[in-house]
Amino acid sequence: MRYLFLGWLLLCCNCVSAAGRLAIVIDDLGYNQLDLAAVQLPGQFTYAVLPHTPYGKKCADLADHLQKDVMLHIPMEALSGKALGPGALTIDMEKDAIQQTLQKALEEIPSAKGINNHMGSLLTQLQYPMHWTMDFLQQKSLFFLDSRTSRHSLAEEYAINAGVPAFHRHIFIDHFVNEPFMEQQLKKLIRIAKRHDFAIGIAHPYPETIAFFQKNKDRFEEEGVKLVPISSLVPTVTLRIAALNKKKEPKG
> Average pLDDT of 147-155?
96
Asked if residue 1 is part of any domain, the answer here is no
Residue 159 within any structural domain of the chain: yes
- pLDDT digits 0-9 by tens, 189-242: 999 999 999 999 999 999 999 999 999 999 999 999 999 999 999 998 888 777
pTM score, two decimals?
A: 0.89
Total domains in the chain come to 1
DSSP code per residue over the chain: -HHHHHHHHHHH--SS---SEEEEEEEEETS-TTHHHHHTSSS--EEEE-TT-TTHHHHHHHHHHTT--EEEEEEE--TT-----TT-B-TT--HHHHHHHHHHHHHH-TT--EEEEEE-TTGGG-HHHHHHHHHHHHHHT-EEEE--SSTT--HHHHHHHTT--EEE--EETTSS-SHHHHHHHHHHHHHHHHHHSEEEEEE---HHHHHHHHHTTTHHHHHT-EE--GGGGHHHHHHHHHHHHHHHSPP-
Q: Which residue segment(s) compose the domain that 71 sits in? A: 19-241
Asked if residue 123 belongs to a domain, the reply is yes
Count of residues for the chain? 252
Considering the domain boundaries, does residue 3 fall inside one? no
pLDDT for position 12 = 43
pLDDT at residue 145 greater than cutoff 80: yes
Q: In this predicted structure, what is the pLDDT of residue 251? A: 66
What value does the mean pLDDT of the chain take? 91
- The CATH number of the domain where 121 resides is what? 3.20.20.370
